[in-house]
Amino acid sequence: MVIYLDNNATTKVDKRVLDAMFPYLEEEYANPSSMYQFSVKSSKAIAQARAQLRDFFGAKSEREVIFTSCGSESANTAIKGVLAANKNKKHIITTKVEHPCVLNLYQTLEKQGYRVDYIGVHADGSLDLEELKDKIDDETALVSVMWANNETGVIFPVEEIGEIIKSKNPETKFFVDAVQASGKVDFDVKNTNIDLLGISGHKFHAPKGIGALYVKSNVIIPPLIVGGHQERGMRAGTENVPYIVGLGVAAELAKEALKYETTEIKRLRDKLETGILKKVFNSRLNSSISNRVPNTSNIGFEYIEGELILLHLSDLGICASSGSACTSGSLEPSHVLRAMGVPFTSLHGSIRFSLSRFTTEEEIDYTLEKLPQVIEKIVKLSPYQDELEHLRNSREH
């Protein structure tokens, strides 16, 4: 039995996505760039997927859609592209809580002479917009902000950020990493100041290995991968037809499922979250209650280790994730939770639960039954018995 509550890591491929892809793996294998009749179906399939992505993004034209291999490639294409097209500007603004695919790139760019400002967040995970406003100057080539945070689900007000950027410097380009917002937020890029926006298929029930980048029609950037003329010269390499078809169908399904996501999935997430906060004396919510994508909950369990919780949950078939990343043999607490100022007492014991449209009520009930037992077991092993006793008494009275 697997109870999969780690959908921000990756998602199950929807059967309807697989069914749409299959003919392009089996019979319709032609290279879409070829001249013969056999390739027409492949090239038409790509055109259809591009139109599906245009609708998913809320873009003006399908010419604004580039297929990539993943979210990291979308981000790298956008960021390196904007900087290459504006070589005289050396200032970048981003946030302290971005995904490593963006943060690690900025650290490399700093070594190459770029000035990078990392904007902080408040205790509830929301962005310090005043700080952002102050940092934009004539030299700012790019502002790069995620739409929803992968660890906490906190949503950044990208429409408002876009307006701030263009009011301070209309030349500054705005890239949004929307990997965790896909299928959870309704995109309508044409009515915003977003110039570039990246997504990744495996976060919304398409397979791993396919992503897309929206590039506004008036934004000109060079390709990251240079070679053939695929994607109108914006991304070389023979098109991955079956996966592109899968991404198109996944995007259409995600749009259809958005209402379900924001009502039913949210109801299940809230049931899990309020249940844990009520039943487990040393639990606390890491993030704002309201301004979050509907599927994510990040909960800290004080004075115990997150990895131990995950191992016990795994024995029960429950998959979740901890905020910690294992870096060079030492357990580093999450950079996101640290930026929010989460107290050290729960920094190492924070767990992310992330649901999807395949999550059932029974799975939530089972998790709510088992998790408090797991925590009680681990609490007994903690070296902080006095602190835990004090906490238990203060929560119970």
Answer yes or no whether residue 83 interacts with ligand PLP by CB under 6 A. no
With contacts defined by CB under 6 A, name the span among 14-22, 153-161, 177-185, 379-387 that binds ligand PLP: 177-185
**Shortest distance, position 210 Cβ to ligand PLP, whole Å:** 9
Answer yes or no whether residue 152 interacts with ligand PLP by CB under 6 A. no
**Shortest distance, position 195 Cβ to ligand PLP, whole Å:** 17
Which position among 169, 192, 200, 287 is part of the footprint of ligand PLP (CB under 6 A)?
A: 200
For ligand PLP, which is the closer residue by CB, 146 or 185?
146
What would the two tokens of residue 312 be?
């016990």
Compute the distance between CA of residue 267 and CA of residue 38 in angstroms, rounded to an integer. 48
Contact in structure between 179 and 71 (CB atoms under 8 Å): yes
Count Cβ neighbours within 10 Å for each residue of 120-144 and write b for 16 or more, e otherwise: ebeebbbbeeeebeebbeeebbbbb
For ligand PLP, which is the closer residue by CB, 28 or 177?
177
Residues facing residue 140 across a β-bridge: 91
**Shortest distance, position 201 Cβ to ligand PLP, whole Å:** 8
Contact in structure between 355 and 265 (CB atoms under 8 Å): yes
Is 326 among the catalytic positions? yes
With contacts defined by CB under 6 A, name the span among 64-72, 154-162, 225-233, 368-376 that binds ligand PLP: 64-72
The CB-side HSE value for 369 (13 A sphere, CA atoms) comes to: 7
Count Cβ neighbours within 10 Å for each residue of 2-24 and write b for 16 or more, e otherwise: ebbbbbbeebebbeebbebbeeb
Which position among 21, 53, 101, 165 is part of the footprint of ligand PLP (CB under 6 A)?
A: 101
What would the two tokens of residue 190 be?
């044409």
Answer yes or no whether residue 235 interacts with ligand PLP by CB under 6 A. no
Compute the distance between CA of residue 67 and CA of residue 53 in angstroms, rounded to an integer. 9
Please identify the residue of the shown chain whose CB is closest to the bound ligand PLP.
71
Answer yes or no whether residue 72 interacts with ligand PLP by CB under 6 A. yes
Answer yes or no whether residue 177 interacts with ligand PLP by CB under 6 A. yes
For ligand PLP, which is the closer residue by CB, 144 or 193?
144
Compute the distance between CA of residue 158 and CA of residue 160 in angstroms, rounded to an integer. 5
Answer yes or no whether residue 179 interacts with ligand PLP by CB under 6 A. yes
Which position among 146, 164, 276, 299 is part of the footprint of ligand PLP (CB under 6 A)?
A: 146
**Shortest distance, position 202 Cβ to ligand PLP, whole Å:** 6
Answer yes or no whether residue 153 interacts with ligand PLP by CB under 6 A. no
262: left (phi > 0), else alpha (psi -120 to 50), else beta? alpha
Name the residues that contact ligand PLP, by CB under 6 A.
70-72, 99, 101, 146, 150, 177, 179-180, 200, 211
